[in-house]
Amino acid sequence: MKKVIIQFCTFGFIFLGIWFLLAQVDYIRIFQIKEKATQLEESLGNFYMDIITQSNKEIRKKEISEPIRKIKDRICEDNGIDAESIQLHVIQSGEVNAFALPGRHIVVNSELILFCQNAEEVAGVLSHEIAHIQKNHIMMKLSKEIGFSALTAMLSSGNGGVESLRILTSTAYDRQIEDQADETGVEYMQNSQINPAPLADFMYRLSAEESALQKQLTFISTHPETEERAKKILDLQQKKQIEYLPVLSDSIWKQLQKEIKEIRN
């Protein structure tokens, strides 16, 4: 009986101790900080998109934007991600690049779609960028490189936007972060029954053409050691036996590239 009373008292003290500690947490302050961080991220995303669209036209033609949106939606829906929360932009640009921005924006340059040999390669790039968004890599990078106070000051003054945007579009993430985005991106593709092997092919081509096209292929400078990463993607792909399904029909893919070539010319 004495032992039971001691155990009961011990449990009571533990419960009261936990309750006391939880009572000290300023939940209102925590939620306010989180809300302010979300507002900052959304403002940054809109700020950067304004800068991009001032010098590059956003392509809204249905024959181009709709197939890319369908790929994005398929990846999101099969992985429990709110597809509507991710804003996709196809930008007319001669640089082979795609990148994620704060506020859950993804920018895909038209030249990247032309560089891809099939829709699965585009799906691989989108999966990688969605992974960056879901893992909060974008704000982690900005806070590390610039700092939240500087970002807030930049929004207030309107200065420094181009320089900070370049950090997201032209400099590499830490290797550990890139590996995490690769691994998560492959997982997203496999959950959507999309073959990740074409993404490895995409990276191999970038690696092979790096010396000749380094100045034109921005995607290379932002994603270093492409050959090694391609091998890891193939290793991940081979670990699971999955029946893969086409991302787009051949006719839609050919029409997509035709439409982009017409805009470029």
DSSP one-letter string for 98-159: EEEETTTEEEEEHHHHHH-SSHHHHHHHHHHHHHHHHTTHHHHHHHHHT-HHHHHHHHHH--
Residue 98 · residue 107 · CB < 8 Å:
yes
Report the candidate in 168, 156, 56 with the shortest Cα–Cα distance to residue 101.
168
Which residues are within 8 A (CB) of 257 and not within 5 positions of it... i.e. 6 or more apart? Answer: 113, 114
Region of poorest pLDDT, from 93-102, 130-139, 210-219, 253-262: 210-219
pTM equals: 0.81
Q: Is the pLDDT of residue 244 over 60?
A: yes
Q: Token pair for residue 187?
A: 């997982």
pLDDT over threshold 70, residue 85 = yes
Q: Of 18-27, 30-39, 65-74, which gets the smallest average pLDDT?
A: 18-27
| Residue (of 133, 5, 154) closest to 79 by Cα position | 133
| Minimum mean pLDDT range among 44-58, 93-107, 222-236, 242-256 | 222-236
**Spatial distance between the Cα atoms of 217 and 221, rounded to a whole number of angstroms:** 7
pLDDT digits (tens, 9 = 90+) for 149-160: 777 888 777 777
